[in-house]
Amino acid sequence: MKKRRKLSALCLLLAVAILAPAGAETAFAAERPVSALEAAVSGKDSFASEDSEAEIFKAGSSPFKETASAPTLEVSLTDGATVRNDRLSFEVTARGKKGEKIPSYVTLNGEPVGSLWDDGEKTGYTLAFSEAGRQTVTVSASSEGEETVKSFTLFYRPAKKGERIGTATVSVEVFSLGCGYLIPPVSLPILAGENAAQALVRLLCEEGFVCYFGGEEEDGFYLAYIADGGARPESFNGYLRSREPKNPRALEISPAIPDDLTGYLEKSGEFYGPDDYEKNWQGFLGEFVFAGGAGWMYSLNNRFPNVSLSDSFLSDGDVMRVQFTLAYGADIGGGKALGTGGNADFYPVANRDSLTKTLEKAMSGALSDRGGEALREALAVAGKLNASQEEVDGAERALREALEKSGETEAPGSGETTGSGTSGSAENTETGPSGNAGNTGGGTSGDAGPIESAGNEGNAWQGETTGAFPSAPFESQTGEGSRPAPDDTDAPSEGETPSEPEESRPGAGGNSSEPEDGEGELPSLLAVARGIVEWKKRDLGLPPDGGLLEGSFLSLAGSTAGDWYPIALSLLGLEDNFPAYLSALREAVEKRYRTPGRLSSAKATEWHRISLAVLAAGGDPTSFGRDENGELIDLIADGTYERGRTASLGKQGINGWIWGLITIDAKGYEVPDGAFTGREDMIKEILSRQLPDGGWALSGSHSDPDLTAMALQALAPYARGAESRVEEVSEETADAVKKAVDRALTFLSEAQLPTGDFESWGTRNCESAAQGIIALCCLGLDPLTDSRFVKEGKTLLDGLLLYRRPDGGFAHSYEADPNNPGAMPAQSDSMAGEQALLALAALIRRGEGKTSLYDFRTVGIDVPSGTIFTEEDRRAVEALPDRLTTAQYGTVLSLLEKLNRAANFPGREAYLARLEEAKAALAALFEEIEAIGAAIERLPSPETLTLRDGRAVEELLDRVGELSEADREKIEGLAELMEAEARIKSLRRELVLGVLLSAVFLMLTGVLVLRFIGRRRERAARRGSAPEDSENGDG
């Protein structure tokens, strides 16, 4: 099977929309400026006059004279139509005087609309409506000074998401295998907000099948296989499975490819034999089954759209037919449909849309016995690919008549079907064979070039945005799709292509510093960076196949241990779960703002680090969450220019000024007039702290390479030539910065050790080398070649890589401290790792010509617009226990984040509710743990505990008992509570015992006293009476 997964034009055809970049669109925009529209000269369009009653004929030329020579426009829009979905896709076929394809230009309410896909035949557009009501769409094309403009008026009536906005007739056909319908035409409700891919997946699920797809339902959907409802594998040939149907149905087909079709296939040389399905594919029908050109395509109102299903939106009355092709569409009338070269149709294929609709009616309602024959006949004709239009129409008519006789078809229904009157398909009925009406014949082969290159661009783009999926299948898929040579399958498998520029790092004799690299070849910088991320994941016990910003990492959001990693990941351009981190960060910031004094009143750098992390994760630090008064939190103002109102930026020393400046420059934030501290103030503060030896230090008169490097990073934007902000400060400040930077560089150069690294605080370490690299990159210098920073052939990078460990992480230092038995020299360390990661990011960004580190002006996080809440995710939600533990915080947060971005699906509300509930419960849990800790602290110490505290201790114990084992560990002072419990128990026992013993004591005393009294009486009686009367005493 593997050999067949070679280049396939079909792959291109079908994946076209996945890959569709805006490359073509920008080209057209340039060719055809907006203003030209106003000066448009229009011509009569002979092709699509039915489409548009509202053509505009502008004065200036007589359109009728030059009908033949004016550009023609064919637009698949219906004037006056009401649209319920907020998006609408349509196609434009624009031809010049000689019938050649020319660029077209579309506006919606005066705003230009970019093309979604463009090929040798037609151009696809998607309109996105924002406001209800009348929408004016103009389509224009010009050729040799002549212009044709068409205008359409649409009415957009918005619907609530998930609302039913009509029905479409949908079928899944396997005519090419002689198997008739897999899913006979059904009437499928169209839900607002749902695209055709989602509708199809829904239908397949209802019908008991699953599909395997590339891309996402929301974006770039590619239907790779339709499979047995019970198909187990989560992925197949790199494609993900859709959700499991409730009532799985087997894919029972017995392929019998029509003979004439077999002939064509054999000629194509990409035919794998008539028993390929039985042998190799049982239960899976899709690409490469039987033939290299096999796969699923779809027609919408008898056109084969050149966009992905996820970019098509169904409207009421549409007919969507999903069809299995063996020859890139040439067997089903879609050979030229996508304009991507390939074959011409083998034979004319009749329009079956009316027949499809009538079949739907016939099969949904009870057709009388007499109609049975007509139905069988209609099904047979429908399934016969090369049936003529007359045959098809005849079968349709016969079936409709049979239906009418059965009294099943009401009048309007039949009226609708007679003239094949649904808007979109109208024009095609005349031209007979399918939607590829105006074939120009040319460009078949010539198309391949541009398409492939477009596909290439698309690959990179797709790779960037499909973070939710394992990347390997996409790489292999797109790799195949984009390589012209079929044998070249393994070429793109490295997945490291973006790092190529860096792989050629200067030798600089660093081989010895590579502990695990036997061949002496250094791994690329990106590979080193990935190694750190992998190490960190292992360190935190995160699953290796996921990202770093998941699970337990999310609880680090807002802490020193957490924030630097996402900052580095983002600057490296690595994908990860940034939305989840952003959400965790927001929670953390809001919590701190609501707890007085918690966002450290002393450390401004907390704000700076968090601000950078927010930027890195794609958020806006100037309005990030809300404080206790419900006001938007502005981390930038609070942390930089207005910081001085509460405490000096420099309260914690030079660090506060340095990072304040870096933060405010991170996105070029404006410092408002009247702000407490301005940019220039910060620069001056930093400059004023420069030591006589040229560097900076936290204290003392000897500079520290670490801090000197950081100061350089802050000053860099005011010193270097390009991207300079030097105009933003006064001339003297700029001069001072320049001088300061030169002196600091001299100091750093002198401080560099022969091994390439630095010593800071008396210890040779990883972080100083990392900061040095970042500083040089920020200054626009090349750390690998700048002669000031190459010592005995060793560069700063060599110095940094000294600390790389075999586990992929970086060590802080190798120097062991005898006084320091617990410190771990030569072991991977989180801080060393994050700073190394930042240094690598700086080098890679420099290599790629991107903005310097911490300059986020061009750093954007591509948050995929549509995300799928996969079966696995759903199961994860369902698996959440009723009693949550804090360990689930990260999971809940990332699931919730994902669900919030995911498109609607049945049952979404329930999942959302469950996750919201879980999040609230976890927030309460964290509070409870803190509250218990505080309550324990309020208890008297065990020695002074009294019985009166018993109830309080018991209550606390009950509360602790409610928590999970792991969460109990999180309670501060739990041991004290246990002590208190023992003390109380002991006190109680003491009390009971005391009472008991006291009672015994009293009893004994009583008895003793009574006896004493008794004896005294006896004695007295004896004394009083005669001795002989002794018996009296007995009484």
Partner 1 sequence: MKFKGKRGAEGGAFRKKFFWKKDFLLLFGLILVLAVLIHGTEIQSVEEYYLLHLDDVTPESETVTLSITCQTVFEHEKVLDPALREGDLLPSDGVILPPTEYVLREGDTVFDILSRAVRHEKIQMEFQGADKSPFGSVYIQGIHWLYEFSCGPLSGWMYRVDGEFPQCGCSRYSLHDGQCVEWIYTCELGKDIGAEWMGGQR
Binding residues for partner 1 (CB under 8 A): 556, 559-562, 564, 600, 602-603, 650-654, 656, 697-700, 702-704, 759, 761-763, 817, 819-824, 829-831, 834, 937, 941-942, 973, 976, 978-979, 982-983, 985-986, 989-991, 993-994, 997-998, 1000-1001, 1004-1005, 1007-1008, 1011-1012, 1015, 1028, 1030-1031, 1033-1034
894 touches 577 (CB < 8 A): yes
Smallest distance from the beta carbon of 796 to partner 1, in angstroms? 20
Q: Kindly state the smallest distance separating residue 565's Cβ from partner 1, in Å.
A: 10
DSSP 8-state secondary structure symbol assigned to residue 850: P
Contact in structure between 396 and 296 (CB atoms under 8 Å): no
Is residue 333 classed as helix, strand or coil in its secondary structure? coil
Q: Which residue has the tokens 């320091």?
A: 820
Q: What is the DSSP letter of 793?
A: T
Residue the block writes with tokens 């052939």? 793
**321 contacts 173 by C-beta, under 8 angstroms:** yes
| 326 in Cβ contact with 286 (< 8 Å) | no
For residue 384, give every residue at least 6 positions away whose Cβ sits within 8 Å of its Cβ, in sequence order, or none: 175, 258, 391
- Whichever of 127 and 839 has its CB closer to partner 1, that residue is 839
Q: Minimal distance in Å, beta carbon 1030 to partner 1?
A: 5
What's the closest the beta carbon of residue 997 comes to partner 1, in angstroms?
5
Instruction: Categorise residue 287: left if φ over 0, alpha if ψ from -120 to 50, beta otherwise.
Output: beta
Question: What are 859's two structure tokens?
Answer: 């750093």
Say which amino acid occupies 512.
S
Which residues have CB under 8 Å from 608's CB, separation 6+? 639, 640, 659, 660, 662, 663
- Nearest-angstrom CA–CA distance, 186 and 267: 36
Residue with tokens 């560097």: 695
**CA distance linking residue 505 with residue 496, whole number of Å:** 15
Q: Which is nearer to partner 1, 180 or 942 (CB)?
A: 942
Closer residue to partner 1 in complex, CB, 264/564: 564
Residue type, 1021: A
* 918-936: b (≥16 Cβ within 10 Å) or e: bbeebeebbebbeebbebb
Q: Are the beta carbons of 768 and 762 closer than 8 angstroms?
A: no
Residue among 863 and 887 whose Cβ is closer to partner 1: 887
**Least CB distance from residue 667 to partner 1, whole Å?**
25
Distance separating alpha carbons of residues 574 and 616, to the nearest angstrom:
11
Burial of 839 (0-12, 13-18, 19+ CB in 10 A): buried
320 touches 170 (CB < 8 A): yes
> What phi and psi values does residue 586 have, to the nearest 5 degrees?
-60, -45
In degrees and rounded to multiples of 5, residue 98 shows phi and psi of -95, 15
Q: CB of 1033: closest distance to partner 1 in angstroms?
A: 7
- 578: exposed, middle or buried (C-beta count within 10 Å: 0-12, 13-18, 19+)? buried
| Secondary structure class of 87 (helix, strand, coil) | strand
Instruction: Characterize the bridge pairing of strands 164-173 and 319-325.
Output: parallel
441's tokens: 């014949």
C-alpha to C-alpha distance for 197 and 496, rounded to whole angstroms: 31
Tokens of 629: 């008064």
Give 254 or 699: the residue with its C-beta nearer to partner 1.
699
C-alpha torsion 322→325→328→331, nearest 10? -110
Element spanning 52, H or E: none
962 Cβ contact partners less than 8 Å away, ≥ 6 residues apart:
928
Q: How far is CA 246 from CA 228, 249, 382, 873, 899, in A?
A: 13, 9, 30, 17, 22
3-class secondary structure, 127: strand
